Homo-oligomer: A and B are copies of this chain.
Amino acid sequence: MPKKKLLSACLALLACTAMAAEPKAKLPTVAELIKASSAADWRAPAPVSTLVMQLASGVVVIELARDFAPQHVANILQLTRAGYFDGLAIIRVQDNYVTQWGDPEEDDAKARPKPKDLPKAAPEFDRPLKGLKFTALPETDGWAPMEGFVDGWPVAANPKTGRAWLAHCYGMVGVARDAEPASGDGSGLYTVIGQAPRALDLNIAKAGRVLQGMELLSALPRGTGELGFYEKAEQRVPILRVRVLADIPETERPHLQVMRTDTALFQRVLDARRHRDGWYVQSPDRVELCSALPTVRPAP
């Protein structure tokens, strides 16, 4: 059975680089680099700005992007601690686009009340490039003159305007808003479940990234209503509870690590993604921002 799995895996696109017997010297794989990494190559997400969303199917862990959308993050934390999200639901799943959650009755008399002192959110769609410790990629995908990583986050920037912003990659979490740019208060959130919709980049606040449980959001039935909204209340996926990681007893917390992006290891990982042999007949010799997000793993 293990042999069969290896064989099937090898038949299956990508695994042969690591698995097939290769006579020639091989480049190190990402898996090999991770295995040889040290504790200093990883960081833990800050408990005060990480969410744990409990669904019936399991736990979704979301790191919030304090340095990119501080007001939105503060709002989301305030809403979370007020219990705002508990008992709300996933209300929309649009194929190759987004899964969105919040209050299905938001526009109705039955809308769940929000904390009275919840600030209005600023349109934090970008921020100054200055002050960011930027690990730039030599490649860009055409969406910005400069792209790379800041503390694990996928970031695009324009040195001419001096602005930087989070890229809308798979698994990134954004804040739904109305036509008014400052109308996203953090009570409606979504994550990207398809090709990165980079046209949205400078048009909405990105507030986080799903670190664990992405498959609980991406594999949901697509909604059949307009824009993928679920048409019937019973189709919605209940959110049992959302908590801030810091508010969970230490022994009950999920412990995750994100690969640091300002290290020699991360550069070697990028090179391992660029230069492929084994199964590959044509090495891609490039990486792309949204296909090179740093690995997340359970803390060893």
Partner among B20, B123, B193 whose Cβ is within 8 Å of the Cβ of A281 = B123
Interface hub of A12, A203, A276 (most chain B Cβ within 10 A)? A12
Partner among B179, B222, B278 whose Cβ is within 8 Å of the Cβ of A278 = B179
A199: chain B residues within 8 A (beta carbon):
273, 276, 284, 286-287, 291
Partner among B188, B202, B273 whose Cβ is within 8 Å of the Cβ of A11 = B188
Q: Does A117 contact B (CB under 8 A)?
A: no
> How many identical chains are in the complex?
2
Q: Report yes or no: A281 in contact with B218, Cβ–Cβ below 8 A.
A: no
Known: A96-B218, A291-B195. A142 touches B13 (CB 8 A): no
A145-180 CB contacts (< 8 Å) to partner B = 169-171, 174, 176-179
Q: Report yes or no: B195 in contact with A280, Cβ–Cβ below 8 A.
A: no
Q: How far is the CA of A177 from the CA of B106 in the complex (A)?
A: 49
A202: chain B residues within 8 A (beta carbon):
281-282
A12: chain B residues within 8 A (beta carbon):
92, 100, 176, 188, 190, 227, 229
Q: How far is the CA of A66 from the CA of B159 in the complex (A)?
A: 45
Closest to A147 in B: B142
Q: Report yes or no: B188 in contact with A225, Cβ–Cβ below 8 A.
A: no
Q: Does A10 contact B (CB under 8 A)?
A: yes
Partner among B11, B194, B225, B278 whose Cβ is within 8 Å of the Cβ of A5 = B225
A211: chain B residues within 8 A (beta carbon):
none
Q: Report yes or no: B176 in contact with A13, Cβ–Cβ below 8 A.
A: yes
Q: Report yes or no: A178 in contact with B10, Cβ–Cβ below 8 A.
A: yes
Q: Report yes or no: B14 in contact with A227, Cβ–Cβ below 8 A.
A: yes
A14-67 CB contacts (< 8 Å) to partner B = 14-16, 20
Partner among B142, B227, B273 whose Cβ is within 8 Å of the Cβ of A142 = B142
A170: chain B residues within 8 A (beta carbon):
96, 194-195
Q: How far is the CA of A286 from the CA of B198 in the complex (A)?
A: 10
Q: How far is the CA of A221 from the CA of B96 in the complex (A)?
A: 16
**Mind listing 11 A-B residue pairs with CB under 8 Å?**
A4-B107, A9-B226, A14-B227, A93-B219, A96-B218, A125-B281, A139-B142, A141-B288, A142-B286, A195-B291, A199-B273
Residues of A whose CB lies within 8 Å of any CB of B are 4-5, 7-16, 20, 91-93, 95-96, 98, 100, 104, 106-108, 123, 125, 139-143, 169-171, 174, 176-179, 181, 183, 188, 190, 193-204, 214-215, 218-222, 225-227, 229, 273, 276, 278-282, 284, 286-288, 290-291
